[in-house]
Amino acid sequence: MNSPARAPSGPAAPPGVSVLPDETHLRQVLGQYVTGVCAVSTRFETRTGTRHDAIAVNSFTSVSLDPPLVSMYLRDDSTFLRRVRASRQWAVSFLGNRARPLVGALTAPAVRRPPVEEAADWAVGPHTGCLLLPDAPGTLECDLHLTQALGDHVLVVGRVLGAVGRDHEPLVFHRGAFTGVAPAP
């Protein structure tokens, strides 16, 4: 039976040699990977009518063009995940560099988030009724395709119903901080 590689005892492994990382080290290594930042929204029903919720994620990726599928990962104990599963629809707005202030509102715990409708100038998506940012570099509306538990997160895959792209500079996350992208020459 093969066992995972272990760090050698004695002196530290030379730079570039792979060892099983602890959580802090893994977070540091993964921080070297640049990711985009998205506002993801859904809607949910209350006794007084339809409400909206939105969070910021950087775990978004394209899955397939045929059929058109995209995905994100959410914590398995997330209020937002419960709402996506109930509504079976969600929307994505790729955040632009000017949207940094919105990230703070969307990353607060659900009980401390302001009403999402007041956090930005949203538009209602024509395919899902979920909120979109009309000045975002890109927006997508999705039906829930599947969810799959993986560790302490859940993979959420959506089938794209509509997509709009705009030529705006994106907001990106690198080494634990938000940054922009240099304009193309």
Q: What is the pLDDT of residues 45-101, one digit of tens each?
A: 999 999 999 999 999 999 999 999 999 999 999 999 999 999 999 999 999 988 888
**pLDDT (tens digit, 9 = 90+) per residue, 20-58?**
678 888 888 878 888 899 999 999 999 999 999 999 999
pLDDT band, very low/low/confident/very high, at 124 (cuts 50, 70, 90): very high
> The whole model's pTM is what?
0.83
Q: Nearest to residue 30, comparing CAs of 174, 180, 178, 184?
A: 174
Say how far apart CA 19 and CA 17 lie, in whole Å: 7
Q: Nearest to residue 55, comparing CAs of 91, 113, 121, 106?
A: 106
**Six-digit token string for 180:** 């922009």
Element spanning 112, H or E: none
Indicate the average pLDDT of the chain. Answer: 87
**Six-digit token string for 85:** 């599963």
The better pLDDT of the pair 18, 3 is held by: 18
Say how far apart CA 96 and CA 117 lie, in whole Å: 19
Question: Are residues 87 and 165 in contact, defined by beta-carbon separation less than 8 angstroms?
Answer: no
